[in-house]
Structures are given as structure tokens and as C-alpha cells.
């Protein structure tokens, strides 16, 4: 046999190799750039976001003027709820989730009891089959003493509505939805969260030194059980505040929002900010839209609240299409002092 | 029936069929509640059979790495390992099980900050040294006050062992670094953006229990003063019970807190329909930390 000599590669084959190498290198670079989510997940979010921005019908956010907790909060809430395209709660198990992170005398840290009880009364009137109120404080106190200190426990006892410490509520693992938890596919969640047909997030409207603002989405941190993850729920910080907020929301939907901005908190939130007599209740079936609207009212654009900006980009909720209803927004605008930044 | 007997009866009634206890009546058995209930029943010496079933549940719940998670089927060992050891040592659990647990705790490492700019940032914003080694709630996370305190307490019987002693000393240093301005502890953030954050009763109580066991010289008068005020300010069964247990470890008492704890006992003999709270209250009212 004759020696074939050194093998030569044709120009076409070389171009093919270069093309394949370029595609492979590009994909690897894209995977690296989009970590920890990865390219496939990133494209899913981006595509969904584009579709949502183009095609989603507007989400209703109703603003109600409610000057103080001594006014008829239930009447304000009922009127707002009726305009907000809220889901039918008849026959449903509903968990009401206020913000009870801690009670600190002199600071409006928690959702006010009159707002929580107004939500409970409205749900009862609307035919919810089971109503429970619960939170899992992040700053290492049991929830019940916090609820007692802010007057909520007694008000719920009058109504025979159970109060649940979500930090200790029989946590079990569920599948984490939508890929926002990068190191785990499961999340341990409390029984009342797992079994709820609907969660009503009832946050205090306030600034937050890590998240910019704390509203109905950030309020969901309180459903993460300290008994499994410890305090202050370090999993959420290690995973990242933005992906954790969005991952929790996607996992526990449906969630609707009632924001207590009757007295808000500005400045050094979420614990030591100053009270702002604001006179606002905000209600909506899309908590992303509600939070975007409320953040805007207190002077925070999307660019300042990372989790809301990412929600808008990824098509989590309807951040870009909001129909404000109820009281005129301009009458309810207050520019809140910013929280301290690193 | 005395308050003690009623609380014991509550614990016996609420033991799950698998031998463990949940945080709340009717909930699945978990390591922390089972450990505290077994401790309470063993220390009172009234119901060793129920305590033995609790110990058996704990031993069966040990994971392959020697640690314990929240429940028997938890796929990750966490801070509950310290609780399991605290119970097994005092309830005469299997020595091999205990030794695997000790090894797991000693092997557990908190997250380390490698970049000097990260360390500077944490020191500037939170006022702490992030690279002092305590113990995390879960593997790979940063250290926090309560798992560090519980682990010190769990490892105290081996304090003189050469492989244990240096880690205990580091843990004590960690806790001293996390002390709040004016005394006491919270989760582990004494400062945030130059603002002092307040101490809380339960973390302070667990730290004092731990320091009383391994480094009593590190306790300051302010820590005890803070515990007294915080446990009363909180007023919950957990804060009162753990506060009283810490004070008892320091040969002190707080009668107002004890009275308030007694007043919270329900007609069924328990506190907050919680075997966990009831067991802690039982320990607090019946003689202190074992």
C-alpha cells in the first residue's frame, strides 16, 4: 500500500469546524454569563417577559384613601376589593399573611391589626370556608407574642380565627417553581401555606435596607419556616433576595395583596424607620402590579427595586401593564425617605 | 393535679405513635421537639418509657453523615444535630450514635469569606468579623448565634478533648463578637448600617446556657440584665421558659417570669398546644437545665 501522506483538511471542513467551535464557545459563554440560572432558564424568563409585556391585559390595582386606623377600614377595604377583580373566595381555605417581623415600641413595624382583621372579616363575609392568620418572624421571636403585642391576637381570638406561627407549622418539602432557587429543587413550607387555596399578603408599606421596599412580595419571606432554615432565614440571602422573592411567589401562588399604607414606614426600614401618616390601602389580585404601584407612589422607580425590575423582565406578574383604579394616585403620592445603603 | 404533673400528662398524651413529638400537637415528629420532650421526661424521671421511645426515634432519625435534620426524612443535616446530642447524652442514648454526631458537628464548617473586600464590607455594614468560626443553621451557610450556642452546649461534655477544645474556644470568640451593644444576643447581627439592633430573649438564653457550661468567665452582668428584661418584654412561653432555664444555670431566678409562665399553662396542661413549649416550660418550672 502506498503512503497516503499527511491528511489535509479541506477549506469547507475547516469553516464548519470554526462555525461549530464558535457556536459551542458562544453557548458556553452564554451559559457562564447567565449563571446561576443557566441559559435555558434565562431564555425562558426573557421570552415569557417579552410575551407578558406585549400581550398581558392590565392588572387592576385599586387605591383607597383611608386616613387612619380609627376610620372604617373594613368599608374602605370592601369598596376597594370590589373594584379589584379579586378571585372568588367562596369555599376556599385562605391564609392571611401580615408582616409581624417583630414588635418594637414606637416604630410602625408590623401590619396594623385593624387592617388584618378587616381582611379577615371581608373573607368571612365573602364565604371563605377556612381562614387562618399566620407569619413566621425573621428576627427570632415566636409569632404569637408579636401578635399579642400589636393587638392582633386578641382581635383574632374574638373572631375565633386561628393564628399560626409559620416558623413551626409542620414544614414539609414542596417543589420550588420556576427555577429561582439555584441550589435546591425543593422548599420546605408550612402546612397552612401548602394547604391554602389562596394567600392574602397583607404587608406594611415600608422601606427596606436590602430590598428597597418591603411590600406584598417581600412579605412572603415570612412563610419560610425558621424551624427548617433557621433565623434570619439565611437560605434566602445566600440564594439572593431577588430570586428568593420571585421563587417564593411563583411557588405559593395564588397570592393577592392588601397593602397597609395607612401609616407607612420610611427611612431605616424594616425595623427602625419613621412612621408616615399616609392614609393608603392598596388592593389587587396581582401582587407584582400592586407592589410596583405602591413603590411608585412612594417615589421608588423600578430601577431602584431590583426584584420588581426582574419580575417585570421575567414576566412574573404584570409589572408593565397596570390599571390604577379607585382614589386618584396623585393625591396619594408621598416621597419616602430612602433606607440607608451599603 | 399539679402544674408539673399536668404538663407531664400533656407530653405523654401528645407523643406521636412513632415515638417522637411535633412542635404542635398533631404535627409530624421532629428532632428539636422530640429532644426537648425526651429531656424533660427523663430529667423528671417520671416516664422513662415514653422518653426511651423518644430516644429510639432520635437514634433512628440519624442520617448517614452522623447528623440530624428537621425530620427523620430530611435529606440534610442541620442545627438539629446539636439538639439530638443534647438529648441522647442526657438520656443515655447509644454511644456510637453519639460519637457519630459529635464527629459531624466537629466537621461542620460555616461559609468562609475569602475576598478581603467582602470581609471589609461585612465589618463596615454589620460590625462583625465574618470569618470567626461558629456554626451555621445549615451546611455551607454563614454561622449564626443560636446554632453556635447549641453546639457549644452539646459539645460541652467533651470540652477537654484536644480535637474539641479549640473549636469551642473559637465558638466562644464568635459569640463574644456577636454580643449586642449593651449586652445580650439576637440572631447574630448586633449592628446594621451603624444602627445597633436589639437583643432577643431566646438567643440570649441559649448563649448564656452555653457560656455557663463552657466559658462562664465570658458572661457579663449586662447579658443577664438584658435577658431578664427581654424575656418579660417578649412574654411568650418560649422566651420565659428558656430565659428561666438560663438563669437557673447561673443560680439565679426570676419570679415574675416564672409566675407569668405558670399563668400561661392551658387547661389541657400544655402551653400553646405545643409539646415543644410545654417541654421547655416543664424543664424551667421543675428544676432547670439538666
Q: CB-based burial of residue B285 (10 Å sphere; 0-12 exposed, 13-18 middle, 19+ buried)? A: buried
**Using a CB-CB distance cutoff of 8 angstroms, which residues of chain A are in contact with residue B193?**
209, 268, 340-342
**Residue in A104, A209, A230 nearest the CB of B137:** A230
Q: Given the C-alpha cell 440584665, which residue does it identify?
A: B225
B244 vs A144: CA distance, rounded Å: 19
CB-based contact (8 Å) between A169 and chain B?
yes
Q: How confident is the model at residue A137 (pLDDT cuts 50, 70, 90)?
A: very high
pLDDT digits (tens, 9 = 90+) for B178-237: 999 999 999 999 998 889 999 999 999 999 999 999 999 999 999 999 999 999 999 999
Q: What is the pLDDT of residue A140?
A: 82
**Using a CB-CB distance cutoff of 8 angstroms, which residues of chain A are in contact with residue B236?**
141-142, 144-145, 148
pLDDT digits (tens, 9 = 90+) for B88-110: 999 999 999 999 999 999 999 89
Q: How confident is the model at residue A6 (pLDDT cuts 50, 70, 90)?
A: low
Q: What is the ipTM of this complex?
A: 0.96
Contact B137 A272 (CB under 8 A): no
Average pLDDT for residues A274-298, to the nearest whole number? 98
Contact A230 B272 (CB under 8 A): no
**Using a CB-CB distance cutoff of 8 angstroms, which residues of chain A are in contact with residue B227?**
none
Provide the CATH topology of domain A59-332.
Rossmann fold (3.40.50)
**Using a CB-CB distance cutoff of 8 angstroms, which residues of chain B are in contact with residue A104?**
198
Listed in sequence order, the residues at least 6 apart from B50 whose beta carbon sits closer than 8 Å to its beta carbon are B11, B12, B15, B41
Contact B236 A141 (CB under 8 A): yes
CA proximity to A41, closest of A50, A31, A51: A31
CA distance B67 to chain A (A): 14
Contact B187 A139 (CB under 8 A): yes
Q: What angle do CA A288, A290, A291 make, to 5 degrees?
A: 65
A124 vs A94: CA distance, rounded Å: 10
Contact B193 A209 (CB under 8 A): yes
Q: How confident is the model at residue B288 (pLDDT cuts 50, 70, 90)?
A: confident
CA distance A341 to chain B (A): 7
CA proximity to B145, closest of B197, B88, B76: B197
Contact A342 B121 (CB under 8 A): yes
Q: What 8-state DSSP symbol labels residue A178?
A: T
Contact B272 A234 (CB under 8 A): no
**Residue in B136, B142, B192 nearest the CB of A209:** B192
A56 vs A175: CA distance, rounded Å: 27
Q: What is the pLDDT of residue A3?
A: 63
CB-based contact (8 Å) between A333 and chain B?
no
CA distance A44 to chain B (A): 29
Number of CB pairs < 8 Å for A and B? 95
* Domain chopping of chain A, boundaries: 11-55, 59-332
Q: What is the pLDDT of residue B47?
A: 66
> Contact B105/B139 with Cβ under 8 angstroms?
no
Mutation for B interface: A134, A231, A232, A341, most B CBs within 10 A? A231
Q: What angle do CA A8, A9, A13 make, to 5 degrees?
A: 165
Q: How confident is the model at residue A8 (pLDDT cuts 50, 70, 90)?
A: confident
CB-based contact (8 Å) between A104 and chain B?
yes
Residue A272's closest chain B neighbor by CA?
B195
Amino acid at each position: 500500500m502506498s503512503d497516503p501522506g499527511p491528511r489535509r483538511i479541506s477549506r469547507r471542513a475547516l469553516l464548519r469546524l470554526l462555525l461549530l467551535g464558535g457556536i459551542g464557545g458562544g453557548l458556553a459563554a452564554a451559559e457562564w454569563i447567565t449563571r446561576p440560572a443557566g441559559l435555558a432558564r434565562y431564555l425562558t424568563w426573557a421570552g415569557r417577559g417579552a410575551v407578558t409585556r406585549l400581550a398581558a391585559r392590565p392588572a387592576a390595582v385599586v387605591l383607597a384613601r383611608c386616613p387612619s386606623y380609627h376610620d372604617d377600614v373594613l368599608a374602605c377595604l370592601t369598596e376597594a376589593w370590589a373594584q379589584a377583580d379579586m378571585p372568588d373566595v367562596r369555599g376556599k381555605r385562605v391564609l392571611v399573611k401580615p408582616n409581624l417581623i417583630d414588635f418594637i415600641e414606637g416604630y410602625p413595624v408590623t401590619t396594623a391589626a385593624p387592617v388584618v382583621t378587616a381582611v379577615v372579616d371581608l373573607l368571612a363575609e365573602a364565604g371563605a370556608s377556612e381562614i387562618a392568620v399566620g407569619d413566621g418572624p425573621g428576627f427570632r421571636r415566636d409569632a404569637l407574642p408579636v401578635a399579642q403585642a400589636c393587638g392582633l391576637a386578641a382581635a383574632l381570638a374574638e373572631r375565633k380565627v386561628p393564628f399560626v406561627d409559620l416558623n413551626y407549622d409542620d414544614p414539609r418539602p414542596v417543589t420550588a417553581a420556576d427555577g429561582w432557587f439555584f441550589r435546591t429543587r425543593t422548599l420546605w413550607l408550612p402546612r397552612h401555606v401548602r394547604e391554602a387555596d389562596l394567600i392574602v399578603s397583607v404587608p406594611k408599606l415600608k422601606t427596606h435596607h436590602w430590598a428597597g421596599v418591603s411590600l406584598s412580595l417581600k412579605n412572603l419571606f415570612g412563610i419560610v419556616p425558621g424551624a427548617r432554615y433557621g433565623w434570619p432565614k439565611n437560605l434566602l440571602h445566600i440564594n439572593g433576595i431577588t430570586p428568593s422573592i420571585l421563587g417564593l411567589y411563583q411557588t405559593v401562588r395564588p397570592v393577592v395583596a392588601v397593602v397597609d399604607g395607612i401609616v407607612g414606614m420610611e427611612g431605616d426600614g424594616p425595623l427602625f424607620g419613621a412612621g408616615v401618616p399616609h392614609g393608603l390601602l392598596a388592593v389587587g389580585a396581582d401582587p407584582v402590579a400592586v407592589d410596583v404601584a405602591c413603590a411608585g407612589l412612594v417615589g421608588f422607580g423600578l430601577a431602584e427595586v431590583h426584584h420588581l425590575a426582574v419580575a417585570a423582565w421575567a414576566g412574573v406578574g404584570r409589572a408593565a401593564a397596570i390599571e390604577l383604579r379607585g382614589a386618584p394616585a396623585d393625591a396619594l403620592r408621598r416621597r419616602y425617605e430612602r433606607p440607608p445603603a451599603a | 393535679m399539679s402544674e408539673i404533673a399536668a404538663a407531664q400528662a400533656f407530653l405523654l398524651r401528645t407523643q406521636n405513635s412513632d415515638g417522637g413529638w411535633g412542635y404542635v400537637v398533631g404535627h409530624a415528629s421532629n428532632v428539636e421537639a422530640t429532644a426537648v420532650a425526651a429531656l424533660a421526661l427523663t430529667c423528671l424521671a417520671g416516664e422513662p418509657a415514653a422518653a426511651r421511645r423518644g430516644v429510639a426515634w432520635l437514634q433512628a432519625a440519624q442520617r448517614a453523615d452522623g447528623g440530624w435534620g428537621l425530620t427523620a426524612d430530611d435529606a440534610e443535616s442541620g442545627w438539629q444535630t446539636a439538639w439530638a446530642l443534647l438529648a441522647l447524652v442526657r438520656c443515655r442514648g447509644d454511644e456510637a450514635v453519639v460519637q457519630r454526631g459529635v464527629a459531624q458537628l466537629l466537621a461542620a464548617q460555616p461559609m468562609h469569606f475569602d475576598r478581603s473586600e467582602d470581609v471589609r464590607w461585612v465589618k463596615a455594614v454589620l460590625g462583625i468579623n465574618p470569618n470567626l468560626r461558629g456554626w451555621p443553621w445549615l451546611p455551607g451557610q454563614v454561622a449564626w448565634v443560636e446554632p453556635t450556642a447549641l453546639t457549644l452546649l452539646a459539645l460541652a461534655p467533651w470540652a477537654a478533648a484536644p480535637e474539641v477544645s479549640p473549636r469551642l474556644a473559637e465558638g466562644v470568640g464568635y459569640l463574644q463578637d456577636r454580643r449586642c451593644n449593651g449586652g445580650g444576643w439576637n440572631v447574630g447581627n448586633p449592628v446594621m448600617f451603624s444602627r445597633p439592633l436589639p437583643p432577643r430573649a431566646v438567643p440570649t438564653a441559649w448563649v448564656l446556657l452555653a457560656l455557663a457550661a463552657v466559658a462562664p468567665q465570658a458572661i457579663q452582668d449586662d447579658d443577664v440584665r438584658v435577658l431578664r428584661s427581654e424575656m418579660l418584654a417578649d412574654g411568650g412561653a418560649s422566651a420565659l421558659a428558656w430565659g428561666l432555664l438560663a438563669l437557673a444555670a447561673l443560680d439565679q431566678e426570676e419570679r415574675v417570669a416564672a409566675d407569668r409562665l405558670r399563668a400561661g399553662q392551658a387547661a389541657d396542661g400544655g402551653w400553646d398546644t405545643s409539646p415543644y413549649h410545654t417541654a421547655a416550660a416543664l424543664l424551667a418550672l421543675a428544676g432547670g437545665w439538666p
